[in-house]
A and B are shown apart, each in its own frame.
Chain A
């Protein structure tokens, strides 16, 4: 189907959202909580754009990540209403995470220098984008969720105790856009959400690998031979090289 974004005519698929159609056509719309592999939740409100439907000509603000395209709609990604909405969103996000570099850069790009709201004394860098909880859900673990309400809302394991369902995969830390979720890898253990996970060791050289619990989870949840998970990268490569050299190729 055909729609217009900022006056440019683009072709979209019927399952597209405004965001996905825009992206495929090289039109950039800022967003913090969207991820191609995860369900859209419209949490960050940064991708808000203005839509004019052909039926009544009304213009309304919608989240580009959630709004499904329809034939002949017109989308505005830089109108005055969008600019104001984006600035308000960034102002509010900055109030939660005033020092965060990613947010500060985005805010400056959009004409917001600092937050006009008072910042919480226990401000942290979590902007409640739910990327971590959705990544955890995608892994099938569901070990973290939003806890509390209002200003005190935060992402935590239930009852602030890391459940056995958490295997220390680290997806939440990897996907967190602001770097709020801290994961520390030490030679013998991985620490995340305050829980220590013993790390497996390469059976050839003893180098630390993923947590033992994660390896067990992988063996149970992926159809791959168990011995694929026993060695470190370097030892696997060396083994491959020595097999090649055993063939007399070198």
Chain B
């Protein structure tokens, strides 16, 4: 793994640009709630962004029995191979951090794949609160 998506909550203003960028890149932008990055307001003027941690020993991968979750050796991201996903939804409930998303419309799981090595959230964050380095 060469690069990591670094979250810098102290710089986050909670503007939501990362969520918008994610939903635009990963969907058609119509459902921001389906963004794969989330912002939590933890106090006055205090925000924390959370997204998939790309765990080394990932619960989602252990829950998946069809080989639909594969680690991309170049980016280090765990990616969903939708062609192998049978829609059991177990990865979603197994993720201890809540970052696996089951899409009821397609019957497939979705997750952060670091946009294949150029994460849109980091690219569009106007405050430098997300860095891919």
Binding site for B on A (CB under 8 A): 35-38, 135, 138-139, 169-171, 173-175, 209-210, 215, 218, 222-224, 228-229, 231-238, 240-242, 244-245, 249-250
Contacts and interface: CB of A to CB of B under 8 A. Distances in A.
Interface of B: 7-10, 12, 38, 40, 42-43, 46-48, 50, 59, 62-63, 65-68, 81, 83-90, 92-99, 101, 107-108
A233 B46 CA distance: 21
A135 B94 contact: no
Given A222-B63, A223-B62, A174 B89 contact: yes
10 contacts: A171-B86, A171-B88, A174-B89, A218-B93, A222-B62, A222-B63, A228-B94, A236-B96, A237-B50, A241-B40
B86 A174 contact: yes
In order of increasing CB-CB distance, the 7 nearest A-B pairs are A174-B87, A174-B107, A236-B98, A241-B40, A37-B66, A250-B9, A233-B98
Nearest to B9: A250
- Say what secondary structure dominates the interface of chain B: mixed
A228 B90 CA distance: 11
Nearest to B103: A174
B68 A37 contact: yes
Given A35-B83, A174-B107, A242-B42, A222 B94 contact: yes
B83 A249 contact: no
B65 A138 contact: yes
Contact of A250 (B47, B87, B92): B47
Given A35-B83, A249-B10, A237 B90 contact: no
Nearest to B45: A250
B68 A245 contact: no
A25 to B, nearest CB: 15
B42 A250 contact: yes
Nearest to A139: B88
Contact of B83 (A36, A209, A223, A232): A36
Given A222-B62, A224-B63, A237-B99, A229 B94 contact: yes
B59 A224 contact: yes
A67 B42 CA distance: 57
A171 B87 CA distance: 5
Nearest to B63: A222
B46 A38 contact: no
Contacts of B10: 249-250
A218 to B, nearest CB: 6
A175 B96 contact: no
Contacts of A171: 86-89
Nearest to A248: B10
A138 B85 CA distance: 11
A209 B43 CA distance: 28
A173 B104 CA distance: 10
Contacts of A233: 92, 95, 98-99, 101
Contacts of A215: 93
A250 B7 CA distance: 10
B66 to A, nearest CB: 4
A22 to B, nearest CB: 14
A141 to B, nearest CB: 10
Given A229-B93, A250-B47, A170 B68 contact: no
Given A171-B87, A224-B59, 11 more contacts: A135-B88, A175-B87, A218-B93, A222-B62, A224-B62, A228-B95, A235-B98, A237-B98, A244-B7, A245-B46, A250-B47
